[in-house]
Amino acid sequence: MKDTLGLIFAYQNEESMQSLTKVRASSSVPYGGRYRIVDFVLSNMVNSGITKVGVITRNNFQSLMDHLGSGKEWDLSRKNGGLYILPPFSQSTGYRGKMEALKNAESFIRKSTEEYVVLATANAITNQTYDEALAYHKEKQADITIIYKKSQVKKYEDGATIGNIITLDADNRVVDVAINPEVGDAEVCRSTEQIIIRRSLLETLIADCASHYMYSFHKDVLQRHLKDLKIYGFATDKYIAKVDSIATYYDASMDLLSGETRAELFYQPNQVFTKIRDEAPTLYLGDSEVSNSMIADGCIIEGTVENSIIFRGVHIHKGAVVKNSIIMQDADIQANAELAYAILDKDVVIREGRKLYGWERTPYVVAKGQVI
Amino acid sequence: MKDTLGLIFAYQNEESMQSLTKVRASSSVPYGGRYRIVDFVLSNMVNSGITKVGVITRNNFQSLMDHLGSGKEWDLSRKNGGLYILPPFSQSTGYRGKMEALKNAESFIRKSTEEYVVLATANAITNQTYDEALAYHKEKQADITIIYKKSQVKKYEDGATIGNIITLDADNRVVDVAINPEVGDAEVCRSTEQIIIRRSLLETLIADCASHYMYSFHKDVLQRHLKDLKIYGFATDKYIAKVDSIATYYDASMDLLSGETRAELFYQPNQVFTKIRDEAPTLYLGDSEVSNSMIADGCIIEGTVENSIIFRGVHIHKGAVVKNSIIMQDADIQANAELAYAILDKDVVIREGRKLYGWERTPYVVAKGQVI
Amino acid sequence: MPTKKRAVAMLLAGGQGSRLGVLTTQVAKPAIPFGGKYRIIDFPLSNCVNSGIDTVGVLTQYMPLDLNGYIGNGQPWDLDRNDGGVAVLPPYQKGKAGEWYKGTANAIYQNIAFIERYDPEYVVVLSGDHIYKMDYNKMIEYTEEKNAACTIAVLNVTLEEASRFGILNTNDDNSIYEFEEKPAHPKSTKASMGIYVFQWKKMKYYLEADEADPNSSNDFGKNIIPAMLNAGERMFAYEFDGYWKDVGTLDSLWDANMELLSADSPVNLNDSSWKIYARSANAMPQYVSVHAKVKNSIVAEGCRVHGNVENSVVFNDVYIGRGAVVKDSVILPNTVIEDNAKVEYSILGQGVTVAQGAVVGAAKEVAMATVEPGKMSGYMAVLGDSITIGENVTVKAGEMLAEDRF
Amino acid sequence: MPTKKRAVAMLLAGGQGSRLGVLTTQVAKPAIPFGGKYRIIDFPLSNCVNSGIDTVGVLTQYMPLDLNGYIGNGQPWDLDRNDGGVAVLPPYQKGKAGEWYKGTANAIYQNIAFIERYDPEYVVVLSGDHIYKMDYNKMIEYTEEKNAACTIAVLNVTLEEASRFGILNTNDDNSIYEFEEKPAHPKSTKASMGIYVFQWKKMKYYLEADEADPNSSNDFGKNIIPAMLNAGERMFAYEFDGYWKDVGTLDSLWDANMELLSADSPVNLNDSSWKIYARSANAMPQYVSVHAKVKNSIVAEGCRVHGNVENSVVFNDVYIGRGAVVKDSVILPNTVIEDNAKVEYSILGQGVTVAQGAVVGAAKEVAMATVEPGKMSGYMAVLGDSITIGENVTVKAGEMLAEDRF
């Protein structure tokens, strides 16, 4: 897929993840012990053989820039192509839709020479490549191909959206696009927000939307052009979790404790790449008791950990008990503290004997750097 | 100077350089055949042994980011320290002064461990290091040291500012700071906008200004604290040109045709680093006539060039005549075209036989990509 | 153009480490994995960076492919500098003939051109065989302060141990008046650690003189140091009192790994003020299942633990099946220990497979009571890289295998 | 973990290039500067990258310090890849003994482990001795299409020239039935360019067989290719009709440089569709003063030209003083030609100084009329790296100097 350009929308859902997105863009929220959410889509592009990727940012992207650096970890530190962070051109009020965001990236897109573009939002936890979808796109001589997954939708009440539901004809051509509809318990075809399009067509659509004051990809492009563009759906059956709220984030994290999810995401020939941090391997001491948990490097575990995700550099002292929780980087859980259904952002300290219990659908979120 | 942090204000004078700053921040305006303006201050910091540099940006900094990349060319691609681009945290309306810009970089500064900070604006063309000024700062036990140059000020009428003029007592302590005063022909002590300060003091001043709705470094810090802070001046006699308008840009460019200026800027043990571009060496063919000009790699010269600065990849065809001009990257000056006192931005084409004559104080500026 | 450097480090990484048996058939000793994610060479390399030395030549000649790939451009140690950084220096041909590195001194001699690029005041000579943390800059400052032609780092050993080391006999001011290689009757307990700081001008002179002597074995300890002492050069011992471990045997390699298993380990790998850098594998966090028990152990990223791990060091991407037991052992990367297999008091190479129900080694007490002494692997069982032990097969304590067993 | 690659390139860069005289006393031939900013090795390296080959082993053994530093981490050629990229492969020791590369085939044989990391379908064998642009991927596709065990790139030469080359005699379908090294009576004009594409499985088999033969000189042309032909392997000639220049002599090096001096040069260095990459010096743009005249020449960055330059290739950071003349010459980097000095029909090494009023070489016509033929430097004057020619001193046409002259 040398002839394909990747574009990642790395700025969405900035308001729905509580304190986690106060200090960073949603795409750089830590996930899975050592990753950032953007790592998955970015690795998918790289594993598809894409060597030029633009990351469209809006605001609050210092942490994202620090994480991505020169792109070296994704082998995107290149003379030809490589990784491009695309900040907003001027300090406007943000993007009202993807087409407006793409307008901001217009000169980057025009300067590219690739024939195809993969558009993807950063907030999908999945390990897949785009080779088959692109082959399908070519075979169907499609103008636009939407990668979708047929599934029942779990309902959340905290800002998570169902997203875009497509309806297909027998030939898999898209005949309807519904934006955040009420769907009940039915199985629906949900867009994974991974889209393949010819670069020249994308350029035309960007210019067209800009000159008509339109900005939404789904409303102003897909819905308007259902008839005159050949829009196809390509089905995927890979694991995919959309992270756009605390509840979806918590669920997508706990999914990692299932062997099947881990197998789909990690025990694959295609790796998920992320920024390297220098950490010693994890040290288990004393009466450590660990069960059904993921633990990153650099931890010291002296207490009990159950059904939890422990990031790099966490110290769980003697007698401390951590259950059903997500503990981000460098937390210090002091002796006999207890945590259940908690999400601790980076650098949190839980003092000796303190107890925090949240609940599954509403985990207790502790902001970065807090001392409790 | 391992114990010093560098901070560069890379966002100034965005309105005073006509079309040159329409497509890029002033700090990334091309200069001297292969450099960007920011290269000088950044190289000065690196040559002083500073290994951690923050570049404070405001808007329109895509070109700056592309230029700086991972910082590898400045040996600032490092695990510890290195180069940090600091975009505005949110899409506000910009910085009203340096203290507001520093407020935006506050967490970066707080996370640093260096004892001292060198603050510098990007728009100074100079090759100097800060070692001596820092030694002086320590010797005087100064709170703030301003590097200044005693000189007569050339007047421009196109938006160039005289800048900050300091008055010193016999001990070189600063007793007055005047912002853009009328100075006539007198020799004055002009701040070079290169400042040394203790990091802890800077943090205090940032917090203080923020909580009092103050934002100007010269007005709200220097002028207000002349008595209670020990503010010293450190004299430099190095070549320094401030680039903040078309006229100052043109003059600073033409200065390069003087052997003395070239010696001060380039024939030094301390190099000016910049991004590498792959170009063949320059090829002179046919009746090429070149005189008193700087010519970068990748050019093909078949015509006449006099008193000019020619950037990389420029093709000057047979019979074309370029005099007293600045021709940026990849221009195509076709046969028998004539240019005098012109500034051509990147990728300009001057068609066969066309003639453009500007005048010294008001050079003819051609915007990026134009075909004339 | 390289600029002048105060100090350049030359790291002798050519050793085969033949006493490490099957572990060094494919790699040089400095590339041996250690401590769950490191290689031995990470220690001197990290010491260099932490000491402010940013120019390091690594002298290799034995099986360098793996080591070269590991060092790469030096980025993991922040040694990918535009000016300086790390350079791998193999032997080469000059004029018509080529020469292997004949001895430690000859290896440096052949790379004088490399050193001279940086016009250094001091050259630090290191080996890639030891686990320790040391600030070489302090030793350089000591050399400068003493205006010494050479300083040698020394460790105080017991009088009994002294006969196994090169011993420096010193005056009260720590100046050296004599060097004795493994003396039967040691006069001092100051053992050379094989770490030297030389004034480069002096060093170059003695390297060239040594090279001109056809009878020399071109070795620092045997030739250069005695020659300098004979000539009356100012030479000083630099005392070091931290942790220092030669991991030249399988027993000492095992010991050094086990010494990491405590909160106050002498080699604190979590010390952010003196980080030991390593090239990290890209592996997901380890997963510890409901069936697992992990006690007093180091476990690295990418591991999947379904069984019991006790008192062991487990490297990245190791799989330990349900009901399996790993005790008192060192397990190198990518090894698979299947369900109900048992590994005790052993060192397992990379990519080993221990199939279901197989037993490798024996409990430490049992092994020490039953195995005859004097084997290369001591009382342990040691398995070479990539070998497979079949289902229910036994590898006894004291055995060292280089081939599959079914 | 490296992933499978379709093709790995192995670049033989060990040659001394002794016919290049004083230019190769410090560097291997592939590191010789060319064309104002390049080294010879930039051509095969850039060809690899432009052909989509991202894994290249560079086999060195002669004076590799400069070449290793030049290649570095491969970044200038975009070969600093996480998976693959460029690796410098010196000879090494295995077990107790080490072996220099005995011949071209043995050099590859000793690095079988490197190749096998990438499990390639094809191995492309290249040398670092030629200036040319070639899409190796097309040759690989040709190999695949023909299902050949090996294809050899060939150039059509004249029948007279053919006696100086390895000649491939082919059938109508380009399959090779015979290989003749420098035949007195050539049957074909298809000259081997020393560029091979092998199916890796076949290649490995013949490398191992060749290594087992104690009488073999372990060379591709002399041993491997004949052995494969004898065994009846499918072998094809791949015809190449572009520019290809062996720069193995001082005369051919000069010629190749001069062939760049035209708008329609056969080696178009400004062609953005097939860039030749190089490690660039950090130099300011060249300055051409009011006193200078520059005609029909290549001049690189960092130069300061106050004199006359005509029909010459001038590398970076050269100073040419007022009244000085440089004509029909190749001037390597960092050389200084002082006021009123004269350099004609010469090649000057790096960092040379030609003092005021000195004269190096003679006008080409004069030199060819007066100098006796058969010298290594032909009719030129050739100065080695870093030498100084004193004020008003003369170096005659045909002379080759390795030392200062005052």
Q: Which residue has the higher pLDDT, D397 or C3?
A: D397
Contacts of C55 in chain B (CB under 8 A): none
List, in order, residues 6 or more apart from B168 with CB less than 8 Å away: B174, B175, B189, B233
pLDDT in tens, B260-276: 999 999 998 899 999 98
Task: State the DSSP string of A304-366.
Answer: EEES-EE-TT-EE-TT-EEES-EE-TT-EE-TT-EEESEEE-TT-EE-TT-EEE-BTTBPEEE
Give A4-35 pLDDT, tens digit per residue: 999 999 987 667 788 888 888 889 999 999 99
B38-77 residue pLDDT tens: 999 999 999 999 999 999 988 778 889 889 988 999 999 8
List for chain A the helix, strand, coil content (%; round to 5).
25, 30, 45
Residue B305 structure tokens: 């060039």
Residue B92 pLDDT: 54
pLDDT confidence bin for D151, thresholds 50/70/90: very high
Residue A148 to residue A173: CA distance in whole angstroms: 12
Output the pLDDT for position C100.
Answer: 79
Closest CB to C82 among B75, B79, B80: B75
pLDDT over threshold 90, residue C65 = no
Q: What is the mean pLDDT of chain B?
A: 92
pLDDT reported for residue B162? 84
CA of B191 to nearest chain C CA: how many angstroms apart? 32
Decide if pLDDT at B348 tops 90. yes
Whether residues D83 and A80 touch (CB distance < 8 A) is answered with no
Residue D123 near residue D7, CB atoms below 8 Å: yes
* Model confidence at B131: pLDDT above 70: yes
Amino acid, res. D92: Y
Q: Quick one: which of D85, D201, D189 has its CA closest to D150?
A: D201
Note the pLDDT tens digit of each residue in C347-378. 999 999 999 999 999 999 999 999 998 888 89
Q: What pTM value is reported for the model?
A: 0.89
Alpha helix ranges (H) inside D179-307: 200-212, 225-230, 250-258
Q: Is B160 exposed, middle or buried (0-12, 13-18, 19+ CB in 10 A)?
A: buried
Confidence (pLDDT) at D96: 60
Q: What average pLDDT score do residues D137-151 get?
A: 97
For residue D238, the model assigns a pLDDT of 97
* Optimal mutation site among D42, D80, D137, D280, interface A, most CBs of chain A within 10 A: D80
Residues 6+ away with beta carbon under 8 Å from D285: B32, B33, B34, B294, B295, B296, B297, B309, B310, B311, D301
Confidence (pLDDT) at A19: 85
pLDDT at C3 over 90: no
For residue range D170-190, list pLDDT tens digits in order.
999 999 999 998 899 999 999
Kindly list the residues from chain A whose CB atom is less than 8 angstroms away from the CB atom of residue D81: 75
Look at residue B138 and tell me whether its pLDDT is greater than 60: yes
Q: What pLDDT, in 10s, does the model give residues B214-231?
A: 889 999 999 999 999 999
Tell me what pLDDT residue A150 has.
93
Query: d(Cα D81, Cα D2) in Å, to the nearest integer?
Result: 11
Mean pLDDT over residues C233-241, rounded? 96
* Contact assignment for D298 to B33 by CB distance below 8 Å: no
| Partner chains of C (3+ C-beta pairs under 8 Å) | A, B, D
ipTM: 0.85
Q: Which pLDDT value is given to residue D97?
A: 65
Question: Which residue is closest to A47 within chain D, CA to CA?
Answer: D3
Q: Which residue has the tokens 């460019």?
A: B253
Identify all chain B residues contacting C82, using CB atoms and an 8 Å cutoff. 72-73, 75
- Of C61, C88, C94, nearest to D98 by CB-CB distance is C61
b/e sequence D271-284, b meaning 16+ C-beta within 10 Å:
eeeebbbbbbbbbb
Residue C320 has a pLDDT of 98
Which amino acid belongs to residue A139?
A: E
Q: What is the mean pLDDT of residues D146-157?
A: 96
Average predicted confidence (pLDDT) for chain D: 93
Across the interface, of A273, A280, A294, the residue whose CB is closest to C270 is A280
| Residues of chain A contacting residue B105, judged by C-beta atoms under 8 Å apart | none
Q: Is pLDDT above 60 for A92?
A: no
Specify the pLDDT at position B182.
Answer: 82
Would an 8 Å CB–CB cutoff place A170 in contact with chain C?
A: no
**Is 90 exceeded by the pLDDT of residue C93?**
no
Q: Is B299 in the D-facing interface, judged by CB distances under 8 Å?
A: no
Query: Is B75's Cβ below 8 Å from some Cβ in C?
Result: yes
pLDDT (0 to 100) of residue A8? 96
| Of C329 and D16, the one with more pLDDT | C329
| Contact state of B276 with D282 under an 8 Å Cβ cutoff | yes
C to D CB pairs, distance under 8 Å? 63
Average pLDDT value for residue range A190-194: 94
Average pLDDT over residues D184-197: 93
Q: What is the DSSP string of D313-357?
A: EE-TT-EE-TT-EEES-EE-TT-EE-TT-EEESEEE-TT-EE-TT
Using the beta-carbon criterion (under 8 Å), do A72 and D75 form an inter-chain contact?
no
Whether residue D1 has pLDDT greater than 80: no
Across residues A335-343, what is the average pLDDT?
96
Are the CB atoms for D321 and D340 separated by under 8 Å? yes
Please say whether the dihedral angle defined by the alpha carbons of residues A194, A197, A200 and A204, taken in this order, is positive or negative: negative
Give the model confidence (pLDDT) of D209-226 as tens digits. 999 999 999 999 999 999
Q: How far is A11 from chain B (nearest CA, A)?
A: 12
Please provide the DSSP assignment of B281-308 as one string.
Answer: PEEE-TT-EEESEEE-TT-EE-SEEES-
- C96 has a pLDDT exceeding 70: no
Q: Is A78 on the interface with D (CB under 8 A)?
A: yes
Query: What are D261-299's pLDDT values in tens digits?
Result: 998 898 999 888 899 999 988 999 999 999 999 999 999
Percent of chain A with pLDDT over 90: 73
- Torsion, Cα D200 D201 D207 D210, to 10 degrees, reads -150
Give yes or no for a contact between D34 and D256, defined as CB atoms under 8 angstroms apart.
Answer: yes
Each residue's pLDDT tens digit, A132-164: 999 999 999 999 999 999 988 777 877 778 889
Cβ-Cβ contacts under 8 Å, D301 against chain B: 34, 281, 296-297
Q: Which chain B residue shows the shortest CA-CA distance from D298?
A: B283
Smallest CA–CA distance, residue A69 to chain C, in Å, is: 14
Q: What is the pLDDT of residue D90?
A: 85
Residue D301 has its nearest CB partner, among B278, B285, B297, at: B297
pLDDT of residue B180 exceeding 90, the answer is: no
Q: In this complex, which of D282, D299, D309 lies closest to B271 when CB atoms are compared?
A: D282
Quick one: average pLDDT of C185-210? 95
At residue A96, the pLDDT reads 83
Cross-chain CB nearest to D78 (options A72, A73, A78) = A78
Average pLDDT of the segment spanning C237-256:
93
